[in-house]
Every structure is written in structure tokens, then in C-alpha cells.
Structure 1
Amino acid sequence: MATTVRRRVRVHGHVQGVGFRWATREAAARLGVVGAVRNLRDGTVEAEVEGGPDAVDAMLAFLREGPPAALVSAVDVEEVSPRGDTAFVVSG
């Protein structure tokens, strides 16, 4: 059975109002990862990404850059337990 990992990511910078969540959903579909992304009240974006280690690493690389209109200043990554999600969800 393949190894599955999950990461909780907080993205700081100019990351709201620039299509960050939607671009993240597209990247997740392209890379074959599941999880969720949402805006937080403090102006950051939080994502949880689950999948194979290489796919999750590729997703983390995307989150460190974001879509063209974003300006990412910092990314915090935390290892969390896989939950077995079956889709990638965009919320708040």
C-alpha cells in the first residue's frame, strides 16, 4: 500500500482576493491530492493537503509561489495525520 501524508499549510502575504483558493484547487486536481483550502480572518490562506509524498511536496511547492497575482511572504507547514479525504474542497 502506498504511503499517504498530510500537511497543514498557512500561507502569508498578499494571498486573498487574488484567486489563490481556486488556483490551489486546480493544482490539487492536476497533482492528484485531496484536502481543503480556505481564507482565514487574519488575511492568510490555510490549506490541508493529503496524498503521496511526491504529490504533496509538489503541492507545497505550488503553495510557496501561488497564482500569478499572489505575493507569498511566508509559508508555515505542519505534519498532521491523514484523514482519508476523497476530494479537494474550497471554503470560506
Structure 2
Amino acid sequence: MNRYSIIVHGRVQGVGYRFSTYRTATFLNLTGWVQNLDDGTVKIEVQGSNESIKKFIQRLKHNNKFAKVEYINVKEINKTDNKKSFKIIGY
């Protein structure tokens, strides 16, 4: 099990991107959260199996037909045991 911090760049705010991300994470049984940042990006912290996280990152590029993802930054971070679900922050 691993945990990643992900920043998604592009047209990802005001298009339902957080909700699409939530649905994808929930479908893949991942834990963590997603939130809009002031600079127009979306930040995600996600934890789960390597296979599920790989699928999740691939789907981030196309999980919302109204978004236009330009690029995604992915950084591995320390895992946490206190997360039981995936949530939208600031919703």
C-alpha cells in the first residue's frame, strides 16, 4: 500500500472534476481526499494498492469530459492509517 500527493493542472475547476475524481477513487477502493487550490489546480492525496493507484492516475486524465488536463504531478508521500474513505474537501 502506498500514498501519493497529486497535483492536476489544466481546466479542472468549475467542471465537476472533484466529483469525478471522488467517484473514480471510490470505485477503486482508494482512500484520501481531493480539493481545489487557489492557483486553479486540483490537489489529491490518495492511498491504496499500487495497481489501483496506477489505474486511478490513468483515469485522472479522462475522468471528466468537461475538464482539460494539461499535466499531472505525482509524488509519493508517507502513508497514514487513519483514512477510511475518500472525500471532497471544500464541497
Once residues 22 and 63 of structure 2 are traced to their aligned partners in structure 1, the CA distance between those partners, rounded to angstroms, is: 11
- TM (norm. structure 2) is 0.93
Q: Deviations over 1:23-73 (max 9, x none)?
A: 111101111101000000000000011000000111111123331100000
Do 2:5 and 2:75's aligned partners in 1 also have CA atoms closer than 8 Å?
yes
- Runs of at least 4 residues off by over 2 Å: none
5+ residue gaps, structure 2:
none
CA RMSD of aligned residues (A): 0.8
Matched residues, number: 89
5+ residue gaps, structure 1:
none
Q: Matched residue of 1:59: which SS?
A: helix
Number of the residue aligned with 1:46: 43
The partner residue of 2:68 within 67, 71, 74 is 71
Number of the residue aligned with 2:2: 5
Q: Percent identical across equivalent pairs? A: 35
AA aligned to 1:29 is T
CA-CA distance at 1:81 after TM superposition: 1.1
- TM (norm. structure 1) is 0.92
